[in-house]
Structure 1
Amino acid sequence: MLALALLLSTLAAGQSATSSPRSASMQEQLGVAIPMRDGVYLAADVFLPRRDGRWPTVLVRTPYNRKAPSVSSYLFFVNRGYAVLIEDVRGRYASKGNFGPASQEGPDGYDTINWIARQAWSNGRVAMAGSSYLGIANWWAAIEDNPHLAAISAMNSGDDEYLDRFYSTGGALQAAHRLRWLVQNLIPPPQVRPLFDTYIRHLPLRTADLAATGVILPRWRTAIDHPSYDQYWKSLSIREHLGSVNIPVQSFGGWFDNYAESDLDAFSQLSRGHGTIETWIGPSAHSSASKFPTRDFGSQAITGIRSKQADWFDRWLKKTPGSAPSGPPTSLLHIFVMGPNVWREEHEWPLLRTHYTPLYLTSSGHANSLSGDGELRWEPVWEKAEPDAFTYDPKDPAPTIGGALCCDAKLLPPGPLDQTPVELRQDVLVYTSAPLPENLEVTGPVRAVLYIATSVNDTDFTAKLVDVQRNGQPLLVTDGIQRLRYRLSLDKPVFVKRNTAYQISIDAGVTSYVFPAGHRIRIEVSSSNFPRFDRNLNSSRPNGDETKMTKARQTVFHEKGYPSAVILPLIFDKGRHSRSSTEPRLSGSGI
């Protein structure tokens, strides 16, 4: 009781001591204590329209401080006739309790929504909005199926902890993303944040939390304990629980955000399950206002997200005549097609009219670097084809330059950046097409099917899709990585035999991109993309516990029986081309 009294007095003091120039346009209730089912109190600020009434409410739950300047943008909804409640999640800033796994946001969100519905200023209808972790909190609350929650609008949230925030579709750890997030958010004050270079190369990875933050972090250690997609990760996965979402969902993502694939996965699952969902995927990184030094995607790239969210909430919370459809649930996907720089409406993902088309790798065995002889052909070339080889040394990994990155644009700039420094390396294979005779649209999941061998029992292979400009500048479109022990599945690692040919499939990301006539398509193949992904130390031990670095001799085959190719999801104008929309099955011998 004493602890509760101290909390309430502290919050009340904060309320009475706080003044704001916003008070002229809205009512404020600052430092409100909201009880959870286990007796823990969470801190929140409430903003109401100036005139008295019973209002629908937009709930925003954040681990990044409800007082942060960035949160003020949500007050936009007050002028659209909504109450807005901004809450520190459990264990963060003024809220009590322990900051645990994201799944705690389900019960806490449920209890907060119930509290809102009981207030005199509430009409009992609630929506949620938020970006990144704030968006995750939206999803977990939606899974709880609170009857007062009418709609959500999540931005750059993804739908899976393993695939989005810790590991990846190929099983490699997102080292820079996770360690940087830990440093930015979990270093105890007043400790000084260390320089990135002082901890990103730390081995073993298990103790990188100490190097980065000075303390042992259970969530990091547990993630290292679970490198496979096992029951631990499934219990934390929104994706595994999407069947419990029964309200209209709006979501926003970006082609250069590392959550884009999962944002689209959520759209696909809910639309196939006859849910109501509207998704927007633009030419941005983790921030919707992303600007890139190499490409300007035009004035249409910025979508006016708050206005779109308010329109979405009006449709489902205010239900003015004609605002909400009475027919069956609908799904609508808005994708930004880069190149022509236009928004286009679709209704499924991947697109049913996709023509999955292989573009084959070939060379005379010397595709190493930009000065090599690697080519891409629409038909396989077997004559004089020789396998390409390179040495991957974990002590000297290929550097990350651009791509779908989160969440520090100053440290690791995202987007379609110039890949020339990477292509000058001998441990990067470069394959380039002839200039395109006409524009070519690539919209959908990009996949590289490679026939490889390695001198070790486990290693990584990477693939990048690159647009070579008329002036020769190579700009990254999308990329991916595959850890060989997870080539068959993410839940059961299986090592490879040394110097034996295997077929692997690399998920190289998603995009909607038009290669202009005169440009060339390029594929880069290597074994590292650091520090975006952790370095595979080429060991049979768990990568998180290994400290010994072993060089690996890597081979990529592209001869008869081993048709290595990148599978492009091509979209043609109606009436043009008649390729099958079924993904080709590339089969070879010796797999």
Structure 2
Amino acid sequence: MPTLNRPPLRVIVEHDSPMPMRDGTILRGSVHRPEEGGPFPALLVRTPYGEGTFRMIPVIPALEAGFAVVLQHCRGRGSSDGEFRPWLDEGADGHDTIAWITSQPWSNGEVVMSGMSYLAGCALQAAATRPPGLKAVVASMTPHDFHDGLKYHGGAFALGSALNWGAMQAMLGLQHAEEAGRTPAPGSRRSCRCWATRPRRRAPCPSAPSPASRGGASGPRTRSATRTGRAWPRPCGTTGSRCR
């Protein structure tokens, strides 16, 4: 019977390790490093999408290759303090995070950043500040032009992707505010819940079209109320909606 001679890899993990930024804001992340040996180069990944994103990061292969791994929540997301402002703080925060990593006793002073989509953008924005210690960036599926190719395609506004990303960030912002003990604005929680669950879960919405517009027994389906054969309720908080 085939056998694998694999000794255990003992790892030290520090969750919510505080990392101060230049303006005093504390960002937090998880630091994974081998228990023995060192100092180590570090793999840094920064995300605005919460803890679930980190489960897709190849932490074990990086540890086996002799790296420490730092998984950090962006400002105003996850367990990090501050306000999330898309793209505005990622360069400076990435620069300061690299400086924090290289100052740790377990670090050999070398950092590699990696990620996909917004995570890759975080890496490239940090690289643009030329932080000492950043040796490489492995970025995938991130736009080279934030106007043409991301939010506009051939001059047309990409409403679908913009709406989806904006709604997701609104929900993450509400979650972060609640964890920080702040009370969201009246109606914001209800509005975001309705957007988030439609149409995937088909959550009931008081502003949903009538059976007549959906093609029910009371009348024919109208083209204005449908898209690809499915009814679309009016967005909560807009004129004519009662989800406020």
- Could you tell me the TM-score, scaled by structure 1's length? 0.29
- 1:27 aligns to what? 12
Greater C-alpha radius of gyration: 1
1:144 corresponds in structure 2 to: 129
Structure 1 residue runs of 4 or more that deviate by more than 6 Å after TM superposition: 396-399
Taking only aligned residues, the RMSD between alpha carbons, in angstroms, comes to 2.6
Q: What is the aligned partner in structure 2 of residue 81 from structure 1? A: 66
Structure 2 equivalent of residue 160 of structure 1: 145
Contact (CA 8 Å) 2:47, 2:53: kept in 1 or not? Answer: no
Could you tell me which residue of structure 2 aligns to residue 59 of structure 1?
Answer: 44
Question: Runs of 5+ in structure 2 lacking a partner?
Answer: 1-7, 176-188, 201-206, 208-222, 229-244
TM-score (norm 2): 0.67
Q: SS of 1:103's equivalent?
A: coil
Q: Which has the higher helix share?
A: 2
State whether residues 48 and 77 of structure 2, in contact with CA within 8 Å, keep that contact through their aligned partners in structure 1: yes
Distance 1:98 1:397, change over 3 A: same
Describe the superposition over 1:146-188 as per-residue Cα deviations: whole angstroms up to 9, x where unpaired. 12100000111122222243222x2211111111122223222
Conserved 8 A contact 1:106-1:143: yes
Of residues 161, 175, 180 in structure 1, which corresponds to 2:159? 175
91-100 or 175-184, larger mean C-alpha shift = 175-184
Structure 1 residues 183 and 101, CA gap change in structure 2 (3 angstroms): closer
C-alpha distance in structure 1 between counterparts of 2:130 and 2:226, whole Å: 46
C-alpha contact (below 8 Å) 2:9/2:34 kept by paired residues: no
Give the CA deviation at 1:48: 0.4
CA pair 58-135 structure 1, distance change in 2 beyond 3 A = same
Identity %: 32
Letter in 2 for 1:29: E
Residue type of the alignment partner of 1:73: P
> Does the CA contact (< 8 Å) of 1:44 and 1:86 recur in 2?
yes
2:84: which partner in 1?
Answer: 99
Once the two structures are TM-superposed, the CA of residue 122 in structure 1 deviates from its matched residue by 0.3
Kindly indicate whether residue 169 of structure 2 is the aligned counterpart of residue 185 of structure 1: yes
Structure 2 residue matching 1:99: 3-state secondary structure: coil
Q: Secondary structure at the match of 2:144?
A: coil
1:83-134 deviation per Cα after TM superposition (whole angstroms, max 9, x unaligned): 1000000010111111103131100000000010100000001100101110
Q: Which residue of 2 aligns with 1:114?
A: 99
Task: Give the count of matched residue pairs.
Answer: 182
Contact between 1:180 and 1:196, CA under 8 Å: does it hold in 2?
no
CA distance in 2, matches of 1:69, 1:109: 17
Distance 1:83 1:98 in 2: 28
1:488-514 Cα offsets, whole Å, 9 max, x none, are: xxxxxxxxxxxxxxxxxxxxxxxxxxx
Cα distance in 1, alignment partners of residues 86 and 73 from structure 2: 15
The question of whether the paired residues in 1 share the 8 Å contact of 2:10 and 2:36 is answered with no
